[in-house]
Amino acid sequence: MPASYAEICLLIDGEWISAKDRVSSPVVNPATGEEIGRVPHATQADLQRALESSERGFKVWRNTSAFERAKILRKASALLRERGESIAQKLTMEQGKPLFEARYELNSSADYFEWFAEEGRRVYGRLVPSRNIAVQQMVKKEPIGPVAAFAPWNFPAITPSRKIGAALAAGCSIIIKPGEECPATAVEIARALQDAGLPNGVLNILFGEPSEISEFLIQSPVIRKVSFTGSVPVGRHLSAMAGRALKPITLELGGHAPVIVCKDADLDKTAQILAAGKFRGTGQICLSPTRFLVERCVYEEFLNLFVRYTQEMKIGNGLDPETKVGPLSNTRRIKAIGEMVADAKAKGARIMTGGERVPGPGLFWQPTILADVAPDAMVMHEEPFGPIAVVLPFDTLDEAIEEANRLPYGLAAYGFTESTRSAIRLGNELEAGMIGINHTQMIVCELPFGGIKDSGQGSEGGAEGIQSYLTTKFVSQLC
Ligand code: NAD
């Protein structure tokens, strides 16, 4: 029995504010085209209240011990696991991804809160031997201050959790603006934190016009740190704004992940792993494999296997337990994918499978494999962020690595090989923040998540994840 969708509210200073007295926008189920809820848009007065609340929340939270903070984060994590099934259903209704992916995502979010709860207790300083024995020199780590964070619509649970978890563990307060298109999941996460005992003002949630909110928050002297996940152009824009206000920013932006398949890879297993990895989240994942470079002597064999495993994946409403590929999340992606496929086709690409929108009210696009794509095709340069795999042959590993590193993106890259020598070369020479050899599962709380080049700066998980929410202070004390 599917859960009903949630009432979406802003959370300001511990108070839930519904869409009743606010301008609002619709939440549409991308599998059916139906409106399932309304998102209230914050007014300027709401933004100001959220800032004042966050400033007060910071004072309370920074003076709460790391031990107590960890207890609340762990409790929130347990509540998320307890409520996981009902939240996962809401996530699928608003975002479209199949239920098995939504459950996995919720579980990962709970993992992040647990991980950061423990990391917060390990924020160690140090004592540095002094030149004068009467002086004690201490290096301390302190929370940076109230944070403004912006999360997108493709991972409505993991992206807010990574930001909120790290900020709270470090002792910061945080104002977060999740994606307006998939708001219920973040609201449920906030409810879990509130029910776990998080003091009012430590977490505020806003929705509305993204540019208005980011401008208002980033320029405010209350905010000391910015975090954004989304596209490269918006990342650049927010980075410039944060730079003008002299505020550090963590950016997790787009990607166009290369995959190098060597002739010595286990081709059948590789094709199976890559079909699942490519079409997970309907390809709307920043680290989704997109440019498949396959050694020429196994090119056609790999293509056939890849097409076969792709065609076995059932497309449909994510609430159907048989579904392996859900809809695209919004009409912008349908338009972009349509343009990229048409352009590649016009420039001579072979469409091995898919290539068309599925008729009906939902935003379904067939999982699409394009072979022999021309170098000047749009999809060879722009992030597809959708269910398109581009497959090309290569002759030498040098050539494959050069092609893999050609674009300004540097988020994820993958290699499939049974040769240790090739695996070491790929790990060393691919220009990306995250490299998967013989698999594609990269989102785990204990590992750093982030890109290089235009794909971003900073890391959001692992031991690194908490560091950007901390400042360093030294105290030199003459006794
Ligand atoms: P977009 O560039 O309009 O928006 C991307 C995200 O940024 C959205 O969540 C949006 O709400 C937010 N945003 C936009 N303008 C903003 C502003 N001025 N201030 C604060 N937030 C703002 O693109 P889109 O159509 O929503 O998404 C498609 C593109 O976004 C893709 O090409 C992909 O590169 C990128 N994207 C990346 C990720 C990721 O995980 N890195 C996630 C979602 C989207």
Q: Give the residue numbers spanning the domain of 122.
A: 10-253+454-478
- Indicate whether 292 and 237 sit together in one domain: no
Name which of 439, 432, 396, 433 is nearest 415 in CA terms: 439
DSSP codes, 417-469: -S-HHHHHHHHHHS-SSEEEES------TTS-----GGGEES--STTTTTGGG
- Indicate whether 108 and 242 sit together in one domain: yes
Rounded to 5 degrees, what are φ and ψ at 292?
A: -95, 115
Banded pLDDT at 1 (limits 50, 70, 90): very low
* 464 classed as catalytic: no
Residue 296: CB atoms within 10 A of its CB come to 12
Answer yes or no: is the C-beta of 255 below 6 A from any ligand 1 atom: no
User: Which range, of 4-8, 247-251, 256-260, 324-328, averages the lowest pLDDT?
Assistant: 4-8
- Indicate whether 123 and 224 sit together in one domain: yes
Which atom number of ligand 1 is nearest to the Cα of residue 455? 41
Residue closest by Cα to atom 17 of ligand 1: 211
At 116-164, the pLDDT tens digits run 999 999 999 999 999 999 999 999 999 999 999 999 999 999 999 999 9
- Indicate whether 87 and 141 sit together in one domain: yes
DSSP H or E segment with residue 471? strand 470-478
Q: Which of 181, 252, 295, 431 is catalytic?
A: 252
Is 288:276 a contact under the CB 8 Å cutoff? no
| pTM given for the model | 0.97
- Indicate whether 298 and 389 sit together in one domain: yes
Name which of 335, 258, 332, 329 is nearest 290 in CA terms: 258
Answer yes or no: is the C-beta of 332 below 6 A from any ligand 1 atom: yes
- Indicate whether 346 and 390 sit together in one domain: yes
- Indicate whether 326 and 424 sit together in one domain: yes
Confidence (pLDDT) at 2: 53
- Indicate whether 215 and 303 sit together in one domain: no
- Indicate whether 341 and 300 sit together in one domain: yes
Q: Which of 9, 182, 262, 286 is catalytic?
A: 286
Domain with 126 in it: what CATH number? 3.40.605.10
Within 13 Å, how many C-alpha atoms sit on residue 385's CB side?
22
CA dihedral in degrees (388, 393, 397, 398; nearest 10)? Answer: -90
- Indicate whether 294 and 307 sit together in one domain: yes
C-alpha dist (Å) from residue 284 to 29, 132, 278, 392, 403? 16, 58, 9, 21, 22
Residue closest by Cα to atom 30 of ligand 1: 231
C-alpha of residue 406 to centroid of ligand 1, in Å = 23
Rounded to 5 degrees, what are φ and ψ at 93?
A: -65, -40
Residue closest by Cα to atom 29 of ligand 1: 231
Whose tokens are 């964070």? That residue is 149
- Indicate whether 242 and 388 sit together in one domain: no
- Indicate whether 286 and 152 sit together in one domain: no
Residue 418 within any structural domain of the chain:
yes
Residue 4 within any structural domain of the chain:
no
At 411-444, the pLDDT tens digits run 999 999 999 999 999 999 999 999 999 999 999 9
At 303-315, the pLDDT tens digits run 999 999 999 999 9
